[in-house]
Amino acid sequence: MANCIRALCNSDAKGGFVFGKDAALPETTVRTPQNLLRDLGGKPASKRSILAFFAGSMHGYLRPILLQHWGNKDPDVKVFGKLPKVKGRGKMNYPQYMKSSKYCICAKGFEVNSPRLVEAIFYECVPVIISDNFVPPFFEVLNWESFAVFVLEKDIPNLKNILLSIPENKYREMQMRVKEFFAASVWNI
């Protein structure tokens, strides 16, 4: 392995990732193989009524902490375990929450990365990365701070204040960059 270049989806700075040698790649889940681009995109910045959103399995040590601090605690920060399958009017599903949120929380699970990061970008939602040792995909060429927010794991209790401290014009600029990155990264399938 000493002479190999590794391409990793779970690029862990403390887990052997070698800066300048290894490559950090995005992790994603193919939801609808028949139509890969179905339901992508999101609402304009002015129509996103939810400050922050997360839903997912409670694996790893960090997600239960996130749920403990934010689950059903604040109407602006929507944090759930797994979302149930919803049917009927007025019920929101996972993509609808992402499309309606300014910030999408990408909290580590068992690994430092999550497919949620790519999903946030697909739904034009500014990613909030909560994973202290995560090396973002293509970090050598992308300025992640221009379109994502990094929150230290220990700062989960201050999450809402951190996000509210970002001026509206800075948020809109970040969301515009997410949209640009999304448009540039989707292949014609």
**What's the domain range around 176?**
39-185
Given a contact cutoff of 8 angstroms between Cβ atoms, the answer to whether 105 and 53 are in contact is yes
pLDDT of residue 128: 97
**CA–CA separation, 114 and 105 (whole Å):** 10
Whether residue 50 has pLDDT greater than 80:
yes
User: Is residue 20 in some structural domain?
Assistant: no
**Does residue 74 belong to any structural domain of this protein?**
yes
The string of pLDDT tens digits covering residues 59-101 is 999 999 999 999 999 999 999 999 877 776 667 889 999 999 9
Report if residue 146 sits inside a domain. Answer: yes
Whole-number mean pLDDT of the chain? 86
Inside any domain, residue 155 = yes
Here the CATH number for the domain that contains residue 151 is 3.40.50.2000
CA quadruple 11, 93, 167, 143: dihedral sign: positive
pLDDT range class, residue 188, cuts 50, 70, 90: very low
Q: Which of 28-32, 115-119, 137-141 has the lowest mean pLDDT?
A: 28-32
Check if the beta carbon of residue 9 is closer than 8 Å to that of residue 26: yes
Quick one: average pLDDT of 119-124?
92
Quick one: pLDDT at residue 113? 78
**Is 7 among the domain residues?**
no
Residue 23 lies in a domain: no
- Give the pLDDT confidence of 163-178 residue by residue, as tens digits: 999 999 999 999 999 9
- Within a domain: 12: no
- Point out the least confidently predicted range of 8-12, 45-49, 148-152, 158-162: 8-12
Q: What is the pLDDT of residue 107?
A: 94
Mean pLDDT of 129-148: 89
Q: pLDDT higher for 142 or 89?
A: 142
Q: Is residue 34 part of a domain?
A: no
Closest Cα to residue 139, out of 107, 165, 112, 109? Answer: 112
Q: How many domains does the chain have?
A: 1
pLDDT of residue 111: 79
